[in-house]
Amino acid sequence: MVPKIPNIPQWGFVSGRISVLEARFLPREFFMNMISQERIEDIVPHLQDTFLKDYLAPGAVREDFGALPDRCFYNMALSLRGNCPSTIPVDIFLLQSDYLNLKGALAGATVFPFPISLFTQEMLLAIAHEDYAELPQSLRESTGWTAGDAFQIDSGILDIMLDGSYLRHLLSLANEIESEMVSIYVRERVLAYIVIVLWRAANQGISLKRYQQHLLPLEDFTQVVIELTGINNLETWPAVIGGIIGDLFNESLESYADDQISSFDLKVTNYLTRIARDGRLQTAGPERVFSFLAGLSVEMQNLKLVVTGRLNRIDQDLLKERLKDCYV
């Protein structure tokens, strides 16, 4: 079992809210039943039993459903964030959207597709106008980064730099919260993220050396990146990756070639959910918030998978295979 930090009274109020909210989590059987419905009209009533019930305007399921789970998650995260003594357990889940907005700003965009959270509108607009004074430190640390050349950097290289910056920022947040459970979750997530990024690049025939040049530094994972980018045979990667993530990678290699990365991603998500479930055992503390949001994120992903999958007439058995393990 993952060690916990002691219960912290200052987290009592938000943890009490979560105790009530957790009762609304849905089991796997609920999603399996939704998938089995033959008509989309028969799926809609089931959504009234989910966190999405307040977002179901007439026609929303057919016209705009893909955005509803993301909006629901973001609003819930912000609501909890305001009750937290430290915002870090929430920020870890909001950070990826911030970096997608930052990518747009670095390309000169002044309208941002994702909700504003850690990176303010003012900061993003300033960057869009080539004012880099408030550029995240995690991006300044990228190997080869020169702020004055941001608009001239190849888009592929900039993507790698932003991936590295995002991962450094994640690790920094996990270190700051000083929670062993959160740290284990984040570090395993970062390692899996690195593997997926390099795996996709290898499959696309992209030179992995550019990742060694622009993804780093990444704390203890720097050596892993250096070693993986020098190995062409994927079957030898598990020895470098190590641990449970290495085992999951090895298992995924047994899938059909086109399904290997998606299989790995699913296995990793289920593994991270198992880690997050330990947070339920804490009465009050940052793990309680973090674990709830990990569970909510998975539930929103499952709802999106099931409803959009049925709308697009994806095979029901395939949807069942892709369903992520539920928090409860």
DSSP letters spanning 167-223: HHHHHHHHHHHT-HHHHHHHHHHHHHHHHHHHHHHHHTT--THHHHHHT---GGGHH
Whether residue 92 contacts residue 182, with contact meaning beta carbons closer than 8 Å, is answered with yes
Helix (H, G, I), strand (E, B) or coil at 49: coil
Pick the range with the lowest mean pLDDT from 55-59, 182-186, 259-263, 303-307.
55-59
Tokens (6 digits) for 58: 């007439």
Tokens (6 digits) for 145: 């980064």
Mean pLDDT over 304-317 rounds to: 91
DSSP letters along 274-307, please?
A: HHHHGGGG-SSSHHHHHHHHHHHHHHHHHHHHHH
pLDDT of residue 151: 57
Query: Exposed, middle or buried: residue 239 (CB in 10 Å: 0-12, 13-18, 19+)?
Result: exposed
pLDDT of residue 133: 87
Tokens (6 digits) for 285: 């503390």
pLDDT of residue 283: 82
pLDDT of residue 150: 60
DSSP letters along 28-86, please?
A: HHHHHHHHH-SSHHHHHHHHTTSGGGGG--TTHHHHHGGGHHHHHHHHHHHHHHTT-SS
- The CA distance from 59 to 63, in Å, is 6
pLDDT of residue 115: 86
Amino acid at 287: E
Whether residue 308 contacts residue 66, with contact meaning beta carbons closer than 8 Å, is answered with yes
Provide the mean pLDDT of the chain.
91
pLDDT of residue 75: 94
Mean pLDDT over 164-192 rounds to: 95
Ranges of each domain in the chain: 9-52+64-322
Model confidence pLDDT, tens digit, residues 35-83 = 998 888 888 888 999 999 888 877 666 767 888 999 999 999 999 999 9
Residues sharing a CB contact under 8 Å with residue 225, sequence separation 6 or more, in sequence order = 194, 198, 211, 212, 215, 216, 218
Token pair 């990742």: residue: 211
Token pair 């009465």: residue: 283
Model confidence pLDDT, tens digit, residues 139-169 = 989 877 765 556 567 888 889 999 999 999 9
What is the pTM assigned to this prediction?
0.93
Q: Please choose, from the candidates 316, 315, 300, the residue with its C-alpha nearest in 3D space to the C-alpha of residue 67.
A: 300
Residues sharing a CB contact under 8 Å with residue 275, sequence separation 6 or more, in sequence order = 2, 181, 184, 185, 188
pLDDT band per the 50, 70, 90 thresholds, residue 24: very high
pLDDT of residue 147: 56
